[in-house]
Chain A
Amino acid sequence: MAEAAHHYDEKMPLEYRTEESRLNILGFWIFLGAEVALFATLFATYLVLFQRTGNGPTAEELFQVKGVMIETILLLTSSFTCGLAVFEMRRGRLTGLLTWLLVTLLLGAGFITFEVREFIDYVHEGATMQTSAFLSSFFVLVGTHGAHVSVGIVWMILIMIQLLQRGLTPRTARKVFIVSLYWHFLDVVWIFIFTLVYLTGMVI
């Protein structure tokens, strides 16, 4: 393993200073590559099954603009605040970092709340995962994204606890950086969901 694990390279940002951190960050980028393949498959499935609505409602009948817009604004904003958190970290300010992380995860929690409400509305209208192939693929695609966001929230809480316990170290900095990569990635996925699922669904 990394012989130079504790050789600090002062010129690099804090999160890149140990060999272990550099390996982990590269590995996480590659993991995101696998996640791209995963979501691409889910999108492909959705696009194939999109018009196979069986006896159930079509996308046009189902989707409501308002809730989806609110979700989108919440998540896009959270991506911005997550960026601010990393910015504060680079400046070495723990309080700023923690504050913006807290804002990010609250926005994320807001997003999840609205998404869950949206799903519950659909189920009350009789549009469940079991209704049609279209709805199965819709719930699984959007649900997988939502599950990712939920995992991200829990993950962020754990990192905030570690930041409070241990302060800003190369190790905690790396963790913050990686969770921020994850969060921005989910934001990008949501942009695709918003356009390919909701906008397309409401227009076509």
Chain B
Amino acid sequence: MKWNEFFVTGQPLIYAADVSIVLTVIGIVFILTYFKKWKWLWNEWLTTVDHKKIGVMYIISAVLMLFRGGVDALLMRAQLTAPNMKFLDSQHYNEIFTTHGTIMILFMAMPFIIGLMNIVVPLQIGARDVAYPYLNALSFWLFFVGAMLFNIAFVIGGSPDAGWTAYFPLAGNEFSPGVGNNYYAVALQISGIGTLMTGINFLVTILKMRAPGMTLMRMPMFTWTILITCVLIIFAFPVLTVALALMTFDRLFDTQFFTMANGGMSMLWANLFWIWGHPEVYIVILPSFGIFSEIVSTFARKRLFGYKAMVYSIVGIAFLSFIVWVHHFFTMGAGAAVNSFFSITTMAIAIPTGVKIFNWLFTLRKGKIRFTTAMLWSLAFIPNFVIGGVTGVMLAMAAADYQYHNSYFLIAHFHYVLIAGTVFACFAGLHYWYPKMFGHLLNERLGKWTFWLFMIGFNICFFPMYFLGLMGMTRRMYTYSAGLGWTPLNVVATVGAVLMGIGFIVLCYNIYYSARYGERDMTGDPWDGRTLEWATSSPVAHYNFAVIPEVTDLDAYWRMKKAGKGFEIDEEKLKPIHMPSNSGRPFLISIAFFFAGFGLVFKWFTLAIIAALFIVLGLILRSFDDDDGYYISVDEIKRTERLTGKGA
């Protein structure tokens, strides 16, 4: 392979990216060396098994990926602003929408949600960590190296260009001979393994490690949604694992699963992809419902209305999510009976979702609503998501879908549900739980600026797309001709996208500003919260709870406060706390995964095998490791608790 095939060349944008990547790396190395932070980085972050720090790392990665995916989006909007633009060529545009979709779903939405669940779930159930802290670190690092592997594609070897759905035969060797789709198959595989382990980890954590008295029906709604999400992950992700493995075999070893000759069947890929893909959508939306439930209840100062119905509706949605996948390709010609069945199951999802919307509205009713930034995001979710939801029902009507399918109507719909659902939830959760992560609040004034800019920009950007779809504009077109009359709405959409971009910049500035000048949270309970995470100090001590709380009802911490005593710690009752030791192995194993993946992408099998041997070595060392963790002494707990003002 020649060097100019290895590195992507010929595009000014790519050279600019090359330069900025090199400069960033040099900058990071310089800062770490200058401030002597290497040891700190290793001890505090790279080797940590603390769920809160892992959660923070997930969120930082997700925000970086949001930046990358957002830049992709802005480039696309720039190209589509006017007809016959020459800003991007077709190949470049195809790569960009592919990476935009893949990154936003798998490397932005998922890790953001998983980050929040890492930080919050153990706190909400009154646990000191997750069931398998070591595995948790490995999950994160696998996700992280998967994301990095996917991201280097655009400067080394070339990005995938067959869409985030990677339909065959387009994504096969015949039509995509480069390494781009190898990156897709391998990077998603690596991070997918991490996600599956997270699913198992949190399922066991929630089932087995709840504080005494916290029955299933006393769990906070966010924890409930995570429980169900874990079940979705456990049954959906193996399907992705298989689909990607078959894709890898087709691309690297010339098997015939999805090829055009020798019996291959491209429709099989579409089915496997969406059998995973549809539950995947609910994997990112159900936790969002949980986040909104927590925030709405807190800032309305009311118990969640219809808690039980909320739980049943999540279970219902999760069940239905496995039997609707065909609605992603009604147009494949499966026949009227099949399409009708999937049409009805899809529309049925509207029923539990509708129940949830009304329960949120009635939680607000008779409440005392405080408009904090977190609450604004949660409130804005309701009308925006309803627009996305009802257009979803329209898309579910098979006969009508033949007219919407793959048009901008569809694009508008899924951005309305995914942005108003998941992205709003991520921002809401970030503002809400920020003090638990860093000990200070995000600035409310800047937060509200972000909210208004982003929310208004979002509507300006995506609402016109419904009409572009009805005009016949299909997704993934890199350009269009002037006579079609699509220009005005495309200009509007671009304006909206720019506003969203500005909103994101304000958010980043807010993070910096608040770190320097933000209000410190001395109480640990800045919002007058209802669930157990607010019983801890901010930031949370690394053992979470000096004494495990006892739970008597839903909204456990609210009960304690109502009873007049809050969460007090009786120093007499303190016992030494057992904690797991840090380990550098998850990080190192993941590095080996990176090289194994890189080797596969370029068919450098020697590299892949050597790296795989390192992975096996890491697993063997783990098996022989009998580090049982360590104990925190009562004295140290007392000191920590007095420092944070929680101790007596």
Contact = CB atoms under 8 A, between A and B. Distances in A.
B391 to A, nearest CB: 31
A137 B243 CA distance: 12
A52 B261 CA distance: 10
Interface string A157-170: 01100100000000
A26 interface: yes
Contacts of B12: none
- Give the top 8 A-B pairs by smallest Cβ distance, nearest first: A52-B263, A54-B262, A133-B263, A38-B238, A136-B255, A37-B238, A54-B263, A41-B242
B234 A34 contact: yes
B268 A48 contact: yes
A118 to B, nearest CB: 18
A191 interface: no
Interface string A1-24: 111010000000000000000111
Contact of B256 (A24, A41, A130): A130
Interface residues of B, number: 53
A171 B265 CA distance: 47
B257 A49 contact: yes
B577 A3 contact: yes
B254 interface: yes
Contacts of B131: 23, 27
A185 to B, nearest CB: 14
Sorting the interface of chain A by its residue count into under 10, 10 to 19, 20 to 34 or 35 or more gives 35 or more
B200 A30 contact: yes
B320 interface: no
A123 B263 CA distance: 18
A37 B239 contact: yes
Contacts of B207: 26
A48 B234 contact: no
B264 A158 contact: no
B377 to A, nearest CB: 33
A27 B200 contact: yes
B348 interface: no
A159 B624 CA distance: 9
B204 A26 contact: yes
A158 B623 contact: yes
B235 A1 contact: no
Contacts of B263: 49, 52-54, 56, 132-134
B272 to A, nearest CB: 7
A26 B579 contact: no
Contacts of A62: none
A16 to B, nearest CB: 13
Interface string A28-40: 0011011101100
A186 B104 CA distance: 37
Contacts of B253: 129-130
Contacts of B129: 1
A133 B208 contact: no
Given A3-B578, A133-B265, A140-B249, 10 more contacts: A23-B204, A24-B132, A26-B204, A27-B131, A27-B132, A30-B234, A56-B263, A133-B262, A139-B255, A158-B623
A110 B209 CA distance: 42
Interface string A42-53: 100100110011
Interface of B: 128-129, 131-133, 196, 199-201, 203-204, 207-209, 234-239, 241-243, 245-246, 249-250, 253-257, 259, 261-265, 268, 272, 275, 548, 575, 577-580, 620, 623-624, 626, 628-629
A49 B200 contact: no
Contact of A49 (B199, B208, B268): B268
A72 interface: no
B626 A171 contact: yes
B257 A133 contact: yes
Nearest to B620: A158
A136 B200 contact: no
Q: Which of A31, A37, A135 has the most CB of B within 10 A?
A: A37
A131 interface: yes
Contacts of B204: 23, 26-27, 30
A159 to B, nearest CB: 8
A23 B249 contact: no
Contacts of B548: 3
Interface string A123-151: 00000011111111101100000000000
Contact of B237 (A1, A34, A52, A54): A34
Contacts of B132: 23-24, 27
Contact of B264 (A22, A34, A56, A133): A133
A170 to B, nearest CB: 12
A136 B238 contact: no
A1 B580 contact: yes
B249 A136 contact: yes
A31 B235 contact: no
B238 A41 contact: yes
16 contacts: A1-B133, A5-B578, A26-B207, A27-B131, A27-B132, A30-B234, A33-B234, A38-B241, A53-B263, A133-B265, A136-B249, A136-B250, A136-B257, A137-B257, A140-B245, A171-B626
Nearest to B239: A41
A75 B208 CA distance: 34
Contact of B242 (A1, A42, A129, A135): A42
A5 B628 contact: yes
Q: Which of B207, B243, B255, B580 has the most CB of A within 10 A?
A: B255
Nearest to A27: B204
Nearest to A53: B263
A24 B133 CA distance: 12
A38 B624 CA distance: 28
B238 A34 contact: yes
